[in-house]
């Protein structure tokens, strides 16, 4: 019987107990998502929402990233790397079929990567394929990839959603009718509302435990809360309203799992533009911000303070949060030293995420206390990309850099915050060719310290991944090493 | 609906003042308007707490003696925010209506006096503006110029122009065929002079009434725009934005969603009552309907 | 009558043409590029250029305008930049939420307002009138989005009778679909009903002061049957006019309410499309909204002309 009618008939108090027994035989799950994807082809768009539906569920790559962020075999069951690091030979799995019945072999790999690398490619991570010099299908289950230069993170990169294997027969229609090799096949997409998938009978690996799943798009945080409370969704892996987590934690029906993401949230400063080109001014700003207040006020206490551009759960992490402790007096003094003792006006462009908008209000108030008069300018993502990210037209902005291990952005030329330090570039260059883990970690540590010393940006907090789900639903990821809702292990516990 | 009834010198009427005193909704409306105005002015010189200051440790307090209406998610005093929000709402509404009157009334008067092409252009133009749902226009304006109070004023103001133009034109056209205007024409007065001397005074009360109603609508519109994030921007407090902020917090801090909404209802109700009252007070012929 | 219809129709078409040019021009200057947004922060310039040419964004503005408008005549609104499906399909999908919602609100508000307005007029200046009109005053002042929040808090968060947001979909059955539209429709209908009740009351009072009604009363008809036999029927004309005019307000209201309840309707689509710079969806949708408003006004004009032949011969 319909859930709402039942609630009406039996009354809210009774419903909870009865719903529990009524769903005993449940084999499907409804997953709540904040944003609807523009389309469903992960090789032709940057929207996280695409990967959050299709990654591992519908599409698979040669490698995959697991819950802990490690590289695992996927469509490639093993591989060898030549001595010079330039030739990768992948041994592919046998007996893999796409959802439309066509078989998977080395030619599909060649097709997928050449398509991503092509001139007219619309792959958002085209850089992954840039080092590829040639792809050879040696035999149906062997692929040899030659690189033009060593790429330390190549195997990891191939585990991204942007590098999944598609079939020539269906590549052009994947946007609306995705056909992959995953444990789930696409059923339908009700625009503006949900995407439905169901388990694929001819899957090469262990079949999914769920017979099907629905991804339901609920953008409004209040509606998300209500949907969870009403049982309209079984899980909300990225719950948008941290303020409601305590309430959900107290509710015995749900598990609330706060995990980590790769999202370093920063107050980015335009290092090329006065007065932010002055290190003292940047240091003053770092000292003026009470990170814990930002986390409490904007994230309702969820989030880990960071002191540099590095994820705290990474083994190479160094805690630099003490470097610029909250100290308005010192901040004021630093501004005086910099010759900006009378304060100045600055703009703060905020993209439309809740964390940015909320943090922005708190930071504006805090900077106001040391004499920096902040004008908040809310922008949409399209505008943010054009004006801030590509145009460099901004004083300050708040954004979470969600890509894993992305400290190398500080070495990129013309990156939007305009940091330019040859010493730092050298560290990143060494990292490219360094294979030894300890040596790499040491280099990462050096890099973290350098940008923290220079106070390139004000480093705020690591974005948490707050997942809420029915306590009987097991096998969902606690952390988000990449953007994904891998449901292949999800199941209902009895 | 309301129509201009030209006032001839011998209309037997009590004084406007006496009628006003005997009109309950007018009195209530005036009191509310005065109260809001006082609150807005007060917020210029004093609020219990600074609305710019974030005190995260004091966040989400229920109403107490220290914070009469509690605090929001950033620890700001809600009562102070409501006070400043009053100023913001009234400010936006005043300017938006002023734009409407300032441009719409002259257009309407000229159109009634001239007729012909000007009239056609005006009517077509106002059809065009009315054809765009107001919110859609606001979305467009803010997408281009960025959201903000000024752009909210422009979006609301644009819609007020044809409203006043049409109301003025409608009333003025009726007057042009009246005997006292015909007499003036025979006496050789120019259309411009007739408009200023005879037409405008007779449509003034109608404009005042319409202005009050548009004022109430403008408050609603500003709240709606700010609610969807297109109007007043943080850190400036506004009732609509406060409601938006409060929406996700209803489960843990329901009081936050209550007061800004009540403030909007209070203000809109007040100005609507004032408008209704003014109509009766300024135009006694309609009073028989009450 | 024919010339009258022709003139009105000409005005309608002119309005639409001007509106389409205005909206297209406005979107041209909108900052932000759909291709750049879709490809994110790591996209390389040549990738963005490739996508732009795939979307046809590298064509000159005039060519894009003409192909867009030209498509109208064959019902083709173009292909959405972000969703990559025909715009017409997208809009039709979303209209399946917005139109039923607007219709429910319209029916609900009429069902509330007409009896209350009649009751108020019948009990003119006595307690039914005073109390109904006080409520109407209050109803007009309540912002529908705030009313929506309160409804959600009461019926969804606290009582859990109805869903707080989202749309179950028509294929989920009529029950769940109507359940998800119930609160939004109520939130939309209340302020509308308040306005309509006031119009109904004053229209009735106007009619009741006409001479023929007085005559009817003098002939011995009771107040109740006078109102019913003469009053309501005649008062419906202004009420219907207001209903037509309220259509535009209802659409605007739907846009906000869909955001409160997170309904996948036209209102949310327009916000999403603007944010994603899916310009072709935005411009088609706006022209469609404008067209519907203009058409309703056109129909109201026709109805008026039908009733009052003097109007057919121009206003002067």
Q: What is the least distance, in Å, from the CA of C290 to any CA of chain B?
A: 5
pLDDT at A15: 36
Options 3.40.50.720, 3.40.190.10, 1.10.3720.10, 3.10.20.440; CATH of B77-284:
1.10.3720.10
For chain C positions 14-33, those within 8 Å of chain A (CB to CB) are 31-33
Q: Residues with Cβ < 8 Å from A361, sequence gap 6 or more?
A: A298, A376, B54, B74, B234, B235
* pTM of the shown model: 0.84
Question: For residue A4, what pLDDT band results from cuts at 50, 70 and 90?
Answer: very low
Least confident stretch, A125-134, B15-24, B91-100, C52-61: B15-24
- Give the integer Cα–Cα distance in Å for A242 and A302: 7
Tokens standing for residue C306? 């039908």
- Residue A2, pLDDT > 80, answer no
Question: Average pLDDT over chain C, rounded to whole?
Answer: 83
Model ipTM?
Answer: 0.85
Q: Which of C57, C89, C165, C170 to mutate to test the interface with A (most CBs of A within 10 A)?
A: C165
Tokens standing for residue C231? 């009053």
**CATH class as words, domain C90-311:** mainly alpha
| Cβ of residue B215 closer than 8 Å to a chain C Cβ | no
- Residue C200, pLDDT > 90, answer no
Question: For residue A26, what pLDDT band results from cuts at 50, 70 and 90?
Answer: confident
- Across A210-281, the runs of DSSP E, i.e. the strands, are 212-217, 235-236, 254-269
| Cβ of residue A25 closer than 8 Å to a chain C Cβ | no
**Interchain pair A226, C83: CB under 8 A:** no
pLDDT, greater one: C101 or B6: C101
Question: For residue A25, what pLDDT band results from cuts at 50, 70 and 90?
Answer: low
Preceding amide of A369 cis, omega within 30: no
* Secondary structure string (H, E, C) spanning chain C: CHHHHHHHHHHHHHHHHHHHHHHHHHHHCCCCCHHHHHHCCCCCHHHHHHHHHHHCCCCCHHHHHHHHHHHHCCCCCCECCCCCCEHHHHHHHHHHHHHHHHHHHHHHHHHHHHHHHHHHHHCCCCHHHHHHHHHHHHHHHCCHHHHHHHHHHHHHHHCCCCCCCCCCCHHHCHHHHHHHHHHHHHHHHHHHHHHHHHHHHHHHHHHHCCHHHHHHHHCCCCHHHHHHHHHHHHHHHHHHHHHHHHHHHHHHHHHHHHHHHCCCCHHHHHHHHHHCCCHHHHHHHHHHHHHHHHHHHHHHHHHHHHHCHHHHHCCC
| Cβ of residue A329 closer than 8 Å to a chain B Cβ | no
Q: What 3-state class would DSSP assign to A309? A: coil
**Interchain pair B250, C142: CB under 8 A:** no
- Residue C188, pLDDT > 80, answer yes
Least confident stretch, A140-154, B29-43, B89-103, C30-44: C30-44
Question: CATH 1.10.3720.10 occupies which residues in chain C?
Answer: 90-311
Q: Which of A297, A348, A363, A373 to mutate to test the interface with B (most CBs of B within 10 A)?
A: A297
Tokens standing for residue B114? 């001239």
Q: What is the least distance, in Å, from the CA of B220 to any CA of chain C?
A: 7
Residues in chain B where the model's pLDDT stays below 50: 1-12, 286-290
Q: What is the least distance, in Å, from the CA of B44 to any CA of chain C?
A: 26
What H or E segment, with its residue span, contains residue A150?
none
User: Which range has the top average pLDDT, A196-210, C45-59, C88-102?
Assistant: A196-210
| Cβ of residue A391 closer than 8 Å to a chain C Cβ | no
Q: What is the least distance, in Å, from the CA of A342 to any CA of chain C?
A: 34
| Cβ of residue A127 closer than 8 Å to a chain C Cβ | yes
**Interchain pair A364, B235: CB under 8 A:** yes
- Residue C236, pLDDT > 80, answer no
The chain B residue lying nearest C26, using CA atoms, is: B140
The chain B residue lying nearest C239, using CA atoms, is: B1
pLDDT at C223: 65
| Cβ of residue A220 closer than 8 Å to a chain C Cβ | yes
Q: What is the least distance, in Å, from the CA of C230 to any CA of chain A?
A: 43
- Cα A147 to the center of its chain, rounded Å: 27
Within 8 A of C195 by CB-CB distance, chain B residues are none
User: For residue A480, what is the DSSP state?
Assistant: B
Domains and CATH numbers, chain A: 28-36+182-261+465-492 (3.40.190.10), 59-173 (3.90.76.10), 264-462 (3.10.105.10)
| Cβ of residue A227 closer than 8 Å to a chain C Cβ | yes
pLDDT, greater one: A29 or A341: A29
Question: For residue A106, what pLDDT band results from cuts at 50, 70 and 90?
Answer: very high
Size of interface A-C (CB pairs under 8 A): 160
- Residue C312, pLDDT > 70, answer no
- Residue C313, pLDDT > 70, answer no
- Residue A118, pLDDT > 70, answer yes
pLDDT at B261: 95
User: For residue A410, what is the DSSP state?
Assistant: G
Domains of chain B: which residue ranges?
Answer: 77-284
Question: For residue C231, what pLDDT band results from cuts at 50, 70 and 90?
Answer: low
A 10 A CB-CB count for A148 gives: 11
CB-nearest partner of C149 from B136, B144, B257: B257
- Give the integer Cα–Cα distance in Å for B62 and B256: 9
- Residue A92, pLDDT > 90, answer yes
* Tens digits of residue pLDDT in A307-353: 999 999 998 999 999 999 999 999 999 999 999 889 899 999 999 88
- Residue C233, pLDDT > 70, answer no
């Amino acid at each position: 019987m319909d859930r709402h009618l039942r609630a009406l008939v039996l009354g809210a108090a009774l419903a909870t107990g009865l719903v529990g027994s009524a769903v005993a035989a449940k084999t499907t799950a409804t997953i709540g998502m904040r944003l609807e994807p523009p389309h469903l082809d992960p090789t032709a768009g940057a929207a996280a929402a695409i990967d959050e539906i299709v990654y591992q569920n519908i599409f698979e790559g040669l490698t995959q990233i697991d819950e802990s962020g490690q590289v695992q075999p996927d469509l490639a069951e093993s591989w060898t790397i030549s001595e010079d690091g330039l030739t990768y030979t992948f041994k592919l799995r046998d007996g893999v079929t796409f959802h439309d019945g066509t078989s998977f072999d080395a030619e599909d790999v060649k097709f997928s990567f050449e398509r991503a690398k092509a001139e007219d490619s619309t792959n958002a991570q085209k850089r992954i394929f840039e080092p590829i010099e040639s792809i050879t299908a040696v035999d149906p289950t062997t692929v040899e990839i030659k690189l033009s230069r060593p790429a330390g993170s190549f195997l990891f990169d191939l585990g991204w959603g942007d590098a999944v294997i598609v079939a020539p027969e269906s590549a052009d229609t994947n946007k609306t009718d995705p056909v992959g090799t995953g444990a789930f096949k696409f059923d339908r997409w009700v625009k503006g509302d949900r995407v439905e998938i169901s388990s694929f009978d001819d899957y090469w690996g262990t079949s999914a435990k769920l017979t099907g799943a629905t991804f339901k798009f609920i953008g409004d945080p209040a509606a998300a809360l209500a949907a969870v409370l009403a049982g309209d969704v079984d899980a909300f892996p990225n719950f948008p309203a941290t303020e409601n987590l305590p309430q959900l934690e107290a509710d015995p029906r749900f598990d609330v799992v706060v995990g980590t993401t790769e999202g370093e949230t920063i107050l980015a400063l335009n290092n090329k533009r006065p007065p932010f080109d002055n290190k003292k001014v940047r240091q003053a700003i770092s000292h003026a911000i009470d990170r814990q207040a930002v986390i409490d006020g904007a994230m309702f206490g969820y989030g880990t303070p960071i002191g540099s551009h590095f994820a705290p759960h990474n083994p190479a992490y160094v805690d630099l949060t003490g470097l610029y402790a909250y100290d308005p007096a010192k901040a004021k003094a630093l501004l005086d030293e910099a010759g900006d003792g009378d304060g100045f006006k600055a703009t703060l462009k905020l993209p439309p995420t809740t964390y940015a908008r909320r943090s922005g209000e708190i930071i504006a108030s805090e900077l106001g206390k040391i004499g920096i008069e902040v004008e908040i300018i809310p922008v949409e993502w399209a505008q943010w990309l054009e004006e801030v990210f590509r145009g460099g037209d901004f004083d300050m902005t708040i954004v979470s850099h969600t890509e894993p291990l992305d400290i190398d952005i500080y070495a990129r030329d013309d990156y939007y915050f305009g940091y330019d330090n040859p010493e730092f570039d050298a560290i990143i260059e060494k990292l490219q060719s360094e294979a030894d883990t300890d040596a790499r970690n040491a280099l990462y540590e050096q890099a973290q310290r350098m940008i923290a010393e220079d106070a390139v940006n004000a480093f705020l907090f690591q974005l948490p991944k707050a997942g809420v789900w029915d306590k009987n639903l097991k096998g969902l990821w606690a952390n988000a090493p990449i953007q994904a809702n891998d449901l292949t292990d999800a199941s209902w516990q009895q | 609906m309301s129509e201009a009834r030209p006032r001839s010198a011998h209309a037997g009427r009590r004084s406007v003042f006496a009628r006003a005193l005997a009109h309950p909704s007018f009195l209530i409306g005036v009191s509310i308007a005065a109260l809001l105005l006082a609150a807005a002015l007060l917020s210029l010189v004093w609020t219990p707490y600074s609305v710019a200051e974030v005190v995260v440790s004091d966040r989400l307090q229920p109403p107490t003696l220290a914070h009469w209406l509690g605090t929001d998610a950033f620890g700001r005093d809600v009562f102070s925010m409501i006070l400043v929000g009053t100023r913001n709402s009234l400010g936006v509404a005043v300017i938006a209506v002023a734009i409407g009157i300032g441009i719409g009334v002259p257009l309407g008067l000229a159109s009634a006096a001239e007729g012909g092409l000007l009239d056609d252009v005006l009517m077509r133009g106002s059809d065009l503006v009315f054809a765009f749902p107001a919110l859609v226009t606001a979305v467009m304006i803010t997408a281009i110029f960025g959201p903000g109070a000024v752009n909210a004023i422009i979006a609301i103001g644009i819609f007020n122009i044809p409203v006043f133009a049409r109301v003025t034109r409608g009333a003025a056209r009726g007057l042009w065929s009246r005997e006292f205007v015909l007499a003036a024409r025979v006496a050789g007065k120019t259309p411009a002079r007739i408009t200023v001397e005879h037409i405008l005074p007779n449509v003034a009360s109608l404009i005042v009434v319409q202005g009050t109603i548009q004022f109430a609508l403008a408050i609603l519109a500003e709240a709606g725009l700010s609610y969807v994030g297109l109007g007043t921007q943080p850190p400036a407090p506004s009732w609509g934005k406060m409601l938006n902020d409060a929406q996700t917090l209803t489960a843990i801090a329901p009081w936050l969603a209550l007061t800004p909404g009540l403030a909007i209802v209070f203000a809109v109700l007040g100005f609507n009552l004032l408008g209704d009252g003014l109509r009766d007070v300024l135009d006694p012929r309609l009073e028989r309907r009450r | 009558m024919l010339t009258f219809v022709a003139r009105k129709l000409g005005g309608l078409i002119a309005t639409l043409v001007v509106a389409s040019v205005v909206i297209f021009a406005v979107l041209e200057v909108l900052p932000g590029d759909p291709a750049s947004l879709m490809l994110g922060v790591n996209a390389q310039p040549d990738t963005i250029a490739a996508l732009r040419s795939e979307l046809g964004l590298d064509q000159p503005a005039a060519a894009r305008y003409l192909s867009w408008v030209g498509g109208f005549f064959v019902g083709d609104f173009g292909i959405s930049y972000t969703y990559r499906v025909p715009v017409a399909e997208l809009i039709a999908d979303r209209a399946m939420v917005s139109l039923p919602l607007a219709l429910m609100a319209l029916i609900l508000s009429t069902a509330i307002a007409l009896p209350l307005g009649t009751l108020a007029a019948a009990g003119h200046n006595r307690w039914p009138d005073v109390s109904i009109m006080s409520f109407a005053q209050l109803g007009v002042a309540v912002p529908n989005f705030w009313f929506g929040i309160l409804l959600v808090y009461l019926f969804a968060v606290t009582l859990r009778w109805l869903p707080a947001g989202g749309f179950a979909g028509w294929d989920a059955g009529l029950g769940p679909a109507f359940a998800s539209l119930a609160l939004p429709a109520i939130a939309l209908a209340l302020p509308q009903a308040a306005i309509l009740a006031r119009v109904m009351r004053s229209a009735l009072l106007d009619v009741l002061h006409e001479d023929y009604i007085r005559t009817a009363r003098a002939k011995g008809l009771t107040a109740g049957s006078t109102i019913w036999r003469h009053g309501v029927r005649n008062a419906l004309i202004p009420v219907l006019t207001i209903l037509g005019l309220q259509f535009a307000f209802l659409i605007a209201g739907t846009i906000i309410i869909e955001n409160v309840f997170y309904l996948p309707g036209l209102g949310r689509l327009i916000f999403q499309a603007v944010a994603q710079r899916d310009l072709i969806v935005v411009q088609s949708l706006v022209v469609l909204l404008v067209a519907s408003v203009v058409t309703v006004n056109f129909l109201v004009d026709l109805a008026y002309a039908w009733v009052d032949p003097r109007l057919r011969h121009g206003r002067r």
